[in-house]
């Protein structure tokens, strides 16, 4: 069963692409079927582990063996990986089904479905790894697949640029991860998780000299591992690829943001909790970066107008929550939020895709509105997704996001208090921008000048089924699994898959603190309705009188512009210099271009000897004979 979970998506990817010409829907059906079977098996594995405590490590083959070094290709099923299996396969299966309808008019949909399944396989290979090498294989696999899917519409220049940007930014993070793995192997003598984690405590106080500075080995390893996580999970400073990734088809965005790619960074930090727990400096760094990312992305989402980019920045912000939860040592709470977030974020992305489908590929929320009755099912599903994301009482986001804020408060440290404050403020901003998207898309006047309102229509049933199933998860997943993931049974469930050196006890919390976030979330609903539907002039006047602030947020804190000026343009100038002077001026001039020019010159001159007159040829023959006779006589 475990082998089938991993390899069915890969098999579907291969069969779907090879058999794309058999029937019109062969690729869609085959890829979706295999991933759906994988999802069902993943749920069975999770339940079997939860109820019967049956986990294990299933060897596929010995990958590398050199001296005392061994790296296997294995399927490691423990509580942490079983949770990830459910998240990855379930969301991927629904995205596959949704894509059958969403991509129905695309001529290259077999290739698209094949890429989706390959993406799923790569993420599964990552989460079931039992060593850093297999993890790195899956890590690079999801990076490759994201490049292929973001740039799927390769004839579109912006899509190509976004794919390249995602690939390059992730190379920075991947380089950090690779260094971290090298350090683990060099000092620990192994890259297997269990073996490395067992010896970590022995190196807790070891110092090494790194670029002339004496640093703690564990801290250095954790920092490099976290740089890898920052790239994949789009944390502040390495976040710039994430909103641009919206150039890909909407199902890709849902898969990247809810189940694969960006969740890999959170999974890495949680998986390496036995290492991170021995470096308070690294944990503080994780907390600070997570806090900054959460507030940064939420503030930027307030003023964005592209419906997909608003949801993308929402993902970035929620990942910030997960990281600062891990940074304060509440790894299980980070995983709980990752689990619930997968449902409502996939719901919001696919719901946004349904809106875009209704408006014939329009993505600007300023050109929407007034379609609540035209899109009744999409309206309900988007409402549920918005409520869950904002942390509306008793929906999934309420249990997981509020738990992060509570555990930050219970950390009882200065950094924990800062994290709790940032968490509350970010929750309020999240609610504001989420309701802004919802009200502008469905309420108020119909603002689209190109498409008459009667031409907007509800999505087909094949696209609505995944939304319905995700809605169930968005409503009930937090309530049903709160006790298992972060409650009284959490230690029993997680066992040794998550390591706590100093576990935070979830004990007494003041009532005023418990009520603060839900009250702000509830207040934000009528406030948003008033500002975005009843009296939008209030915000328009505020924008006009605070244009620098508005532009600062609209331009995403000018991070992209800063990178363009400091890194991109100088690199292009240096590259252009080497290209024109070095490549063209030297290599090409004296290499292939020079040789071909010389040969062409010689051939042109030699060609002039071909006059076509017999007496010229006879003269050359006699001249040659004379030279030959002279040579023979002299010899």
Q: What is the pLDDT of residues 29-70, one digit of tens each?
A: 999 999 999 999 999 999 999 888 889 999 888 888 877 778
Question: Per-residue pLDDT tens for 118-131?
Answer: 999 999 999 999 99
Question: Per-residue pLDDT tens for 341-390?
Answer: 999 999 999 999 999 999 988 899 999 988 998 999 999 999 999 999 99
Question: Collapsing DSSP states into helix, strand and coil, what is residue 192?
Answer: strand
CB atoms within 10 A of CB 532: 22
Band (pLDDT 50/70/90 cuts) for residue 609 is low
The pLDDT, as a whole number, for residue 337 is 96
Q: Rounded to an integer, what distance in angstroms lies between the CA atom of residue 591 and that of residue 596?
A: 8
How many CA atoms, within 13 angstroms, populate the side-chain half-sphere of residue 552?
A: 6
Q: Rounded to an integer, what distance in angstroms lies between the CA atom of residue 635 and that of residue 632?
A: 5
Which contacts of 166-169 are long-range, i.e. CB under 8 A and separated by 24 or more positions? 166/241, 166/242, 166/244, 166/245, 167/143, 169/231, 169/238, 169/240, 169/241
Of 13, 18, 72, which is closest to residue 38 (Cα–Cα)? 13
Contact 92, 149 (CB under 8 A): no
How many CA atoms, within 13 angstroms, populate the side-chain half-sphere of residue 368?
A: 31
Cβ within 8 Å of residue 187, ≥6 positions away: 203, 206, 208, 217
Q: Which residue has the higher pLDDT, 292 or 580?
A: 292
Contact 396, 387 (CB under 8 A): no
Which contacts of 31-35 are long-range, i.e. CB under 8 A and separated by 24 or more positions? 31/96, 31/113, 31/114, 31/116, 31/117, 32/93, 32/96, 32/97, 32/100, 32/113, 34/8, 34/9, 34/117, 35/8, 35/9, 35/89, 35/92, 35/93, 35/96, 35/116, 35/117, 35/120
Tokens of 252: 């890709």
Q: Which residue has the higher pLDDT, 610 or 290?
A: 290
Question: With 90 as the cut, is the pLDDT of residue 567 above it?
Answer: no
Question: Collapsing DSSP states into helix, strand and coil, what is residue 259?
Answer: coil
Question: With 90 as the cut, is the pLDDT of residue 632 above it?
Answer: no
Which contacts of 39-44 are long-range, i.e. CB under 8 A and separated by 24 or more positions? 39/86, 39/89, 39/90, 39/92, 39/93, 41/1, 41/4, 41/5, 41/89, 42/5, 42/82, 42/85, 42/86, 42/88, 42/89, 42/90, 43/86, 43/90, 44/1
Q: Which residue has the higher pLDDT, 607 or 263?
A: 263
Question: With 90 as the cut, is the pLDDT of residue 603 above it?
Answer: no
Q: Rounded to an integer, what distance in angstroms lies between the CA atom of residue 221 and that of residue 360?
A: 48
Question: With 80 as the cut, is the pLDDT of residue 627 above it?
Answer: yes
Helices (H) and strands (E) in the chain, counts: 28, 4
CB atoms within 10 A of CB 526: 11
Residue 65, Ramachandran bin (φ over 0: left; ψ between -120 and 50: alpha; else beta): beta
Question: Per-residue pLDDT tens for 166-216?
Answer: 999 999 999 999 999 999 999 998 999 999 999 999 998 889 988 888 999
Contact 358, 488 (CB under 8 A): no
Strand 69-77 and strand 56-66: pairing? antiparallel
Question: With 80 as the cut, is the pLDDT of residue 594 above it?
Answer: no
Of 157, 177, 299, 259, which is closest to residue 226 (Cα–Cα)? 177
Question: Collapsing DSSP states into helix, strand and coil, what is residue 56?
Answer: strand
Whole-model pTM over 0.75: yes
Question: With 80 as the cut, is the pLDDT of residue 513 above it?
Answer: yes
The pLDDT, as a whole number, for residue 635 is 66
Residue 271, Ramachandran bin (φ over 0: left; ψ between -120 and 50: alpha; else beta): alpha
Question: Per-residue pLDDT tens for 91-109?
Answer: 999 999 999 999 888 888 8
Q: Rounded mean pLDDT of 410-414?
A: 89
The helix (run of H) or strand (run of E) holding residue 152 is: none
Question: Collapsing DSSP states into helix, strand and coil, what is residue 462?
Answer: helix
Return the minimum-mean-pLDDT range out of 275-279, 388-392, 628-632: 628-632
Measured in degrees and rounded to the nearest 5, phi and psi for residue 533 equal -120, -55
Residues facing residue 61 across a β-bridge: 73
Tokens of 92: 């991927």
Tokens of 533: 């539907």
What is the residue whose two structure tokens read 């059906």?
A: 29
The pLDDT, as a whole number, for residue 600 is 81
Q: Rounded mean pLDDT of 575-602?
A: 75
Q: Rounded to an integer, what distance in angstroms lies between the CA atom of residue 334 and that of residue 485?
A: 10
Q: Could you tell me the sign of the dihedral formed by the alpha carbons of 577, 583, 585, 587, in that order? A: positive
Cβ within 8 Å of residue 272, ≥6 positions away: 222, 225
Q: Rounded mean pLDDT of 552-561?
A: 91
Of 411, 408, 434, which is closest to residue 420 (Cα–Cα)? 408
Q: Rounded to an integer, what distance in angstroms lies between the CA atom of residue 478 and that of residue 381?
A: 17
- Burial pattern 423-445, b for ≥16 Cβ within 10 A else e, equals bbbbbbbbbbbbbbbbbbbbbbe
Question: Per-residue pLDDT tens for 224-251?
Answer: 999 999 999 999 999 999 888 888 899 9
Torsion of CA 159, 169, 397, 497, to 10 degrees: 130
Contact 229, 184 (CB under 8 A): no
């Amino acid at each position: 069963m475990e082998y089938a979970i991993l390899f069915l998506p890969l098999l579907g990817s291969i069969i779907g692409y090879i058999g794309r010409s058999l029937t019109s829907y062969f690729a869609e059906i085959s890829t979706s079927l295999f991933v759906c079977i994988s999802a069902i098996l993943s749920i069975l594995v999770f339940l079997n582990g939860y109820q019967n405590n049956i986990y294990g490590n299933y060897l596929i083959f010995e990958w590398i063996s050199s001296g005392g070094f061994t790296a296997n290709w294995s399927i490691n099923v423990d509580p942490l990986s079983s949770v990830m299996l459910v998240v990855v396969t379930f969301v991927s299966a629904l995205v596959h089904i949704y894509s059958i309808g969403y991509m129905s008019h695309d001529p290259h949909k077999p290739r698209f479905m094949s890429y989706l399944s390959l993406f799923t396989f790569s993420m599964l290979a990552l989460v079931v790894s039992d060593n850093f090498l297999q993890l790195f294989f899956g890590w690079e696999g999801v990076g490759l697949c994201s490049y292929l899917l973001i740039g799927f519409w390769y004839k579109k220049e912006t899509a190509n640029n976004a794919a390249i940007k995602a690939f390059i930014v992730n190379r920075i993070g991947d380089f950090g991860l690779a260094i971290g793995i090298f350090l683990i192997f060099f000092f620990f003598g192994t890259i297997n998780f269990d073996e490395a984690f067992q010896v970590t405590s022995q190196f807790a106080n070891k110092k090494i000299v790194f670029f002339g500075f004496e640093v703690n080995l564990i801290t250095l390893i954790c920092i490099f591992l976290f740089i890898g996580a920052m790239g994949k999970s789009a944390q502040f400073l390495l976040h710039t690829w994430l909103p641009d990734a919206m150039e890909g088809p909407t199902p890709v965005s849902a898969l990247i943001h809810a189940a694969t790619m960006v969740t890999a960074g959170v999974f890495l930090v949680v998986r390496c909790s036995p290492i991170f727990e021995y470096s308070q400096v690294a944990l503080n760094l994780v907390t600070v970066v997570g806090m900054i990312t959460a507030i940064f992305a939420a503030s930027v989402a307030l003023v964005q107008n592209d419906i997909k980019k608003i949801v993308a920045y929402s993902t970035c912000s929620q990942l910030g929550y997960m990281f600062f939860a891990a940074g304060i040592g509440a790894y299980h709470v980070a995983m709980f939020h990752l689990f619930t977030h997968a449902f409502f974020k996939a719901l919001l992305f696919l719901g946004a895709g349904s809106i875009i489908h209704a408006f014939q590929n329009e993505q600007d929320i300023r050109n929407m509105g007034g379609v609540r009755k035209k899109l009744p099912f999409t309206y309900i599903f988007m409402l549920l997704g918005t409520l869950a994301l904002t942390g509306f009482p008793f929906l999934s986001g309420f249990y997981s996001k509020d738990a992060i804020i509570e555990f930050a408060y219970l950390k009882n440290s200065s950094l924990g208090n800062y994290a709790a404050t940032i968490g509350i403020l970010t929750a309020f901003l999240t609610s504001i921008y989420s309701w802004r998207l919802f009200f502008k898309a469905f309420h108020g006047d119909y603002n689209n000048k190109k498409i008459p309102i009667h031409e907007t229509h509800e999505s087909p049933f094949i696209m609505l089924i995944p939304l319905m199933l995700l809605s169930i998860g968005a409503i009930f997943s937090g309530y049903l699994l709160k006790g298992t993931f972060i409650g009284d049974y959490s230690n029993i469930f997680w066992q040794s898959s998550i390591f706590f050196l100093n576990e935070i006890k979830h004990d007494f919390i003041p009532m005023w603190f418990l009520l603060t976030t839900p009250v702000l979330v509830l207040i934000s609903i009528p406030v948003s309705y008033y500002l975005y539907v009843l009296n939008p002039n209030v915000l328009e006047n505020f924008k006009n009188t605070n244009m620098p602030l508005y532009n600062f947020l609209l331009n995403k804190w000018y991070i992209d512009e800063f990178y363009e000026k400091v890194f991109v343009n100088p690199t292009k100038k240096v590259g252009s210099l080497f290209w024109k002077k070095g490549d063209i001026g030297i290599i090409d001039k004296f290499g292939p271009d020079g040789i071909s020019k010389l040969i062409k010159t010689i051939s042109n001159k030699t060609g002039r000897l071909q006059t076509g007159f017999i007496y010229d040829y006879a003269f050359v023959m006699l001249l040659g004979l004379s030279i030959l006779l002279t040579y023979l006589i002299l010899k």
